[in-house]
Amino acid sequence: MANWKPLSSTTRARCAERWRRTTGPFFSELFVEDATYVEHVYGEFQGRDAIRKWITDTMSTFPGNVMPAFPIKWHVIDEERGWIVADIINRMADPGDGSVHEASNLTVLHYAGDNQFAREEDVYNPMNFMKMVKGWGRRAQELGTLTPDGEAWLKSMGG
């Protein structure tokens, strides 16, 4: 694993910009080769390739495939440890009426240097997330915008 250095203001700005612009398989490029990613529902992933496979699979199926935005609500930087703690919002696409459906995710990132991270851990309440996605699904269903995979997911979760 790369040795980390304290985060300079330039590095902080680059990491924040890269985080905002990186989605899908490119997301894994934010991590060093031997990074660890801990996701409390999906499990723990070791290495950039495992992170890439997980994020690609997750974001290409419902509900990930209808989450176009992950705005950062707030963040705190611990310069000494090289950690970033952020409240990242998982926002669903507009179901067709302009309503906003989102759930909060607390993320802890361990900086590794060179604008990459050694570890990420996501912490959230799965029940809140489920409630949000179901609400979005029901609204999209009412508006006729729910995709077939969304219909199948909603039915499997008890609508």
Q: Where are the beta strands (DSSP E) in 11-101?
A: 31-39, 43-46, 72-78, 83-91
Side by side, the strands of the sheet bearing 102-113 are 43-46, 31-39, 116-123, 102-113, 83-91, 72-78
Q: Is residue 102 part of a domain?
A: yes
DSSP label of 94: P
Mind listing the pLDDT tens digit for each residue in 80-96?
A: 899 999 999 999 999 99
How far apart, in whole angstroms, are the C-alpha atoms of residue 135 and residue 116?
35
Q: Is residue 57 part of a domain?
A: yes
What is the pLDDT, as a whole number, of residue 82? Answer: 92
Q: Is residue 136 part of a domain?
A: no
Query: DSSP string of 95-139?
Result: -SSS---EEEEEEEEEEEETTEEEEEEEE--HHHHHHHHHHHHHH
CB contact at 8 A, 117 and 35: yes
What is the pLDDT, as a whole number, of residue 114? Answer: 87
Residue 52 sits in which domain range? 9-125
Q: Is residue 63 part of a domain?
A: yes
Q: Indicate the pTM of the whole model.
A: 0.82
Q: Is residue 2 part of a domain?
A: no
What CATH number is associated with residue 83? 3.10.450.50
Q: Is residue 112 part of a domain?
A: yes
What stretches in the chain show pLDDT beneath 50?
A: 1-2, 4
User: How many distinct structural domains can be found in the chain?
Assistant: 1
How far apart, in whole angstroms, are the C-alpha atoms of residue 87 and residue 75?
6
End-to-end CA distance of the chain: 44
Q: Is residue 133 part of a domain?
A: no
Residue with tokens 């996501």: 122
What is the pLDDT, as a whole number, of residue 12? Answer: 56
Q: Which pair of tokens denotes residue 36? A: 């660890």
How far apart, in whole angstroms, are the C-alpha atoms of residue 143 and residue 152?
16
Q: Is residue 53 part of a domain?
A: yes
What is the pLDDT, as a whole number, of residue 1? Answer: 40
